């Protein structure tokens, strides 16, 4: 059966993905999971291609996940971090990309603390570019792995009530998930203290259907999925929060809140977690918490995307 949607060169955010293309990638990811379940977790699909992981910001799971995904498809993989590269000598991003192109890179995966860096790279690189997280802007592969995890557990995304709790204002995970979840027909509620959410109109201008809440107990009542976001400790220094304890009391996913949700609500977190701040250790190990599955699904989703961009 042929692929229904048009060829794609880059994956910079989910805003230019149709619902059909997202579903197609999730279907492909499920097939990739079968490959990952084999004794020999490798297929020859991208043999002879070179994928370069450019990580300008620290990352464990995303970088390893992209490396494993590219290797499982038999690509040559080179990863570099800003430390120890010519970046330290002041080489610009554009120069670095030109160098990678001259070295024969076919695809680039980039993580950068500046929003828009992957878009800049895409304009100066002949091959495919995948955004592995840029500033506060986008993290499309995280959103795809979240969608896959939800779909596996709950069957479909349409009609689900999904609540994202935490530092939404600074979160690229929240933004990409908003695109993915709303495209597939979920009902999304954003919940955070006003200082970490901003004015409701800021969100509804782009996603008119989204609901805004400042009270976590009201927001999560009846939710199918609760997604907790990492609270960056810098936010406290910036004066956005009175104290971590205060934040925890008002917004953390605690065992008490978990008990009120029931056993069918999925609890998710993109990691890395601050246990005891936005999520309690007892919640992390609860049966309806799927954080480890999110990590596992990340490899399959990234394989699906690398395949989609190859050609």
Partner 1 sequence: MTDRKQILTADDIRRALVRIAHEIDERNGGLHDVILIGIRERGAPLAERIAAAIADFEGVRVPVGQLDITLYRDDLRTRGPSARVRKTLIQHDVTDRVVVLVDDVLYTGRTVRAALDAIADLGRPARIQLAVLVDRGHRELPIRADFVGKNVPTSRSERVEVHLRESDGVDQVLISRPA
What is the nearest approach in angstroms of partner 1 to the Cβ of residue 73?
8
Residues 6 or more apart whose Cβ sits within 8 Å of residue 42:
35, 71, 72, 73, 74
Q: Is 272 a known ligand-binding residue? A: yes
d(CA 309, CA 307): 5
Q: Is 111 a known ligand-binding residue? A: yes
For 147, 231, 235, 238, the CA distances from 141, given in Å and listed in that order, are 10, 20, 25, 29
Nearer to partner 1, 35 or 236 (CB): 35
Q: Is 172 a known ligand-binding residue? A: yes
Question: What DSSP letter does each residue of 94-145 carry, written as one string?
Answer: HHHHHHHHHTT-SEEEEEESSTTHHHHHHHT-SSEEEEEEETTTB-HHHHHH
Q: Is 61 a known ligand-binding residue? A: yes
Nearer to partner 1, 1 or 201 (CB): 1
Q: Is 42 a known ligand-binding residue? A: no
What is the nearest approach in angstroms of partner 1 to the Cβ of residue 208?
33
Nearer to partner 1, 5 or 115 (CB): 5
Nearer to partner 1, 73 or 93 (CB): 73
For 55, 83, 87, 99, 182, the CA distances from 95, given in Å and listed in that order, are 15, 16, 10, 6, 37
What is the nearest approach in angstroms of partner 1 to the Cβ of residue 227?
27
Contacting residues toward partner 1, per CB under 8 A? 1-3, 7, 24, 27-28, 30-32, 34-35, 38, 40, 42-46, 73, 304, 307-308, 310-311
How many residues are there in the chain? 311
> Which residues fall in the annotated binding site?
61-62, 89, 111, 139, 142, 172, 230, 271-272
Residues in the annotated binding site for carbamoyl phosphate:
61-62, 111, 139, 142, 271-272
């Amino acid at each position: 059966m042929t692929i229904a949607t048009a060829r794609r060169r880059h994956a910079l955010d989910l805003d230019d993905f149709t619902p059909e293309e997202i579903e197609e990638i999730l279907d492909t990811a499920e097939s990739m999971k079968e490959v990952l379940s084999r004794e020999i977790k490798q297929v020859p699909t991208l043999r002879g291609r070179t994928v370069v992981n450019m990580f300008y910001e620290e990352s464990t799971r995303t970088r390893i996940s992209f490396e494993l995904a590219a290797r499982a498809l038999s690509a040559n993989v080179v990863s570099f971090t800003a430390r120890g590269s010519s970046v330290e000598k002041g080489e610009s991003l554009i120069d670095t990309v030109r160098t990678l192109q001259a070295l024969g890179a076919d695809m680039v995966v980039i993580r950068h603390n500046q929003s828009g860096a992957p878009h800049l790279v895409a304009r100066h690189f002949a091959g495919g570019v995948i955004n592995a997280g840029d500033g506060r802007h986008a993290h499309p592969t995280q959103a795809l792995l979240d969608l896959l995890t939800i779909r596996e557990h709950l069957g479909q995304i349409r009609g689900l009530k999904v609540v994202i709790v935490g530092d939404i204002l600074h979160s690229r995970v929240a933004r990409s998930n908003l695109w993915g979840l709303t495209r597939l027909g979920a009902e999304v509620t954003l919940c955070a203290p006003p200082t970490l959410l901003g004015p409701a109109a800021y969100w509804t201008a782009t996603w008119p259907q989204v609901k805004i809440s400042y009270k976590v107990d009201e927001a999560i009542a009846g939710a199918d999925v609760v997604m907790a976001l990492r609270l960056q400790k810098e936010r406290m220094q910036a004066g956005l929060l009175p104290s971590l304890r205060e934040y925890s009391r008002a917004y953390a996913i605690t065992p008490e809140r978990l008990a009120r949700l029931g056993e069918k609500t999925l609890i998710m977190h993109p990691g890395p977690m601050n246990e005891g701040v936005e999520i309690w250790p007892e919640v992390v190990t609860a049966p309806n918490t799927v954080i480890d599955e999110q990590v596992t699904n990340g490899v399959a989703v990234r394989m699906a995307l690398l395949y989609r961009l190859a050609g």
